């Protein structure tokens, strides 16, 4: 129990053996301490040096030979209290740095199809509604299987999703192909807009505190996630404004 407690206070196993030996002997020379602790003399000498640096023992010269004795055990408590007070003084500055970092957006980049696919999985695991601008026609050419899984997982995860996409034959057919069940069960709403006025070429999605931007061009496949609560809240509000202001209709 004593060994474990000293370990928790920052002493290594070898240091504990030597320190307790010094206490039990009431002080001594390296040879007697090493014998008591059951360690090699050279190892003991190095360990005593470490303990002296930690201010738990002190050394004096007796007849040109170094003699080691323990400081009062109260020094262990004093050291803990000193660290506590030092941490208290540092706390305001550290908290300021922490708060500053909390408001710093985190940006991640994903290249290649295999690295972008998990972004769709991440969306379905979101704790909030998923919102997004997309174009299913180019999206399906690269991520067709992923779209099918996305629709299924919306149902399984009981996740709500609203999408704005161009109104054309291709998008209408793809909604029917991949999302008919999700639409019927009210997990997905797709509002179609004029493709000439709103020619979406990529996907932009908002969920939790993240915004995901995904390129649908096979020659520049790229996914970006920006994690920022403030930015995402603003983008969600802008999406809602676009949703309310759209003059087309919900597919189906």
pLDDT along the chain (252 residues), means of 10: 81 88 89 90 89 90 89 86 86 78 78 88 89 92 87 89 92 90 91 86 92 89 90 93 70 44
Instruction: Please give the model's pTM, rounded to 2 decimal places.
Output: 0.58
Q: Which residues of 199-209 are buried (b: 16+ CB within 10 A; e: fewer)?
A: ebebbbbbbbb
Torsion of CA 125, 166, 183, 247, to 10 degrees: 110
Instruction: Give the pLDDT confidence score for residue 249 in this predicted structure.
Output: 47
Instruction: Give the pLDDT confidence score for residue 162 in this predicted structure.
Output: 95
Contact predicate 127/229, CB 8 Å: no
Instruction: Give the pLDDT confidence score for residue 240 in this predicted structure.
Output: 92
Instruction: Give the pLDDT confidence score for residue 102 in this predicted structure.
Output: 62
Instruction: Give the pLDDT confidence score for residue 251 in this predicted structure.
Output: 46
Instruction: Give the pLDDT confidence score for residue 247 in this predicted structure.
Output: 55
Strand pairing class (161-166; 28-29): unpaired
Burial of 12 (0-12, 13-18, 19+ CB in 10 A): middle
Q: Put the strands of the sheet holding 28-29 in their side by side order.
A: 28-29, 65-70, 57-62
Please give the C-alpha separations between residue 84 and each of 13, 53, 91, 95, 98, in angstroms, as whole numbers: 24, 19, 10, 16, 19
Instruction: Give the pLDDT confidence score for residue 83 in this predicted structure.
Output: 84
Instruction: Give the pLDDT confidence score for residue 248 in this predicted structure.
Output: 47
């Amino acid at each position: 129990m004593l060994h474990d407690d000293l370990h928790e206070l920052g002493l290594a196993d070898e240091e504990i053996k030597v320190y307790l030996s010094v206490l039990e002997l009431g002080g001594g020379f390296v040879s007697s301490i090493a014998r008591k602790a059951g360690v090699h003399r050279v190892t003991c000498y190095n360990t005593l040096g470490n303990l002296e640096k930690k201010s738990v023992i002190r050394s004096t010269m007796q007849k040109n030979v170094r003699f080691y004795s323990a400081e009062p055990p109260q020094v262990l408590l004093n050291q803990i209290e000193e660290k506590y007070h030092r941490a208290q003084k540092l706390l305001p500055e550290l908290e300021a740095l922490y708060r500053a970092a909390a408001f710093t957006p985190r940006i991640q980049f994903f290249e290649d199809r295999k690295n972008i696919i998990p972004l769709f999985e991440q969306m379905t695991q979101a704790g909030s509604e998923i919102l997004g601008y997309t174009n299913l026609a180019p999206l399906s050419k690269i991520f067709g299987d992923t779209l099918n899984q996305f629709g299924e997982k919306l149902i399984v995860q009981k996740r709500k999703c609203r999408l704005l996409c161009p109104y054309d034959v291709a998008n209408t057919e793809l909604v029917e192909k991949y999302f008919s069940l999700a639409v019927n069960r009210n997990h997905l709403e797709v509002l179609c807009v004029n493709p000439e006025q709103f020619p979406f070429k990529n996907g932009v999605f908002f969920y939790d505190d993240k915004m995901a931007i995904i390129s649908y061009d096979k020659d520049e496949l790229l996914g970006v996630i920006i994690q920022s609560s403030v930015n995402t809240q603003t983008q969600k509000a802008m999406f809602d404004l676009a949703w309310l202001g759209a003059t087309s209709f919900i597919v189906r």
